[in-house]
Amino acid sequence: FSLGQSAFYALGAYTSAILMEHGNVNYALTLPVAGLICFAAGFLFGQPALRLSGIYLALATFALAVAMPQMLKLGVFEHWTGGVQGLVITKPDAPFGLPISQDMWLYYFTLVISIMIYVFAVNLLKSRSGRAMMAIRDNEIAASAMGVDVALYKTLAFGVSAGITGVAGGLGAIAVQFVAPDSYTIQLAIALFLGMVVGGVGWLPG
């Protein structure tokens, strides 16, 4: 179990916010960038963290969730992150002159992104990598005996999870129009974890 998803949510949110406000990048283009950055961060964090298991892995990810808000407040990043005050984001208008409100457009935009991620997840599970991940989930020792690179696929799963969470963070930042360190505390990590449990662990529709 990972309790550090709020850290990747924050990283994705700040990536989108910084690209929009400092780089004048289109909001839709910031989402794949946020996903890629969070995938890389999750993959790198997973290298040492996934040598742990059970409560020790949960504690390592918990530490990441606790540390992230403080890291975002560091003076060295303040020019980009806005420090304690955070960043205000301009909410995008509907394209092509569509006669709908900003909120309604963001709803449909988010729905399309969610469906795309769901299709990606379904296809991933049907692929060789997905079958390897499910084999590790069911019996790690048997999967290793069959030639599955357990360390690689566990780290890859951590990276994919972080990447998807980063896209969600970017969407959340665009919808709320504001990012600040104190918006991404351990309470958010627990809320994300509980949402996964209520939806159903290992069940994609959930």
CA distance 138 to 126: 16
CB 8 within 8 A of CB 158: no
| Model pLDDT, residue 56 | 83
- Note if the pTM is more than 0.85: yes
Confidence of residue 19 (pLDDT cuts 50, 70, 90): very high
pLDDT, tens only, 108-150: 999 999 999 999 999 998 998 889 988 888 888 888 888 888 8
Shortest CA distance to 156 belongs to which of 145, 168, 148?
A: 148
% residues pLDDT > 70 (the chain): 99
CA distance 186 to 175: 21
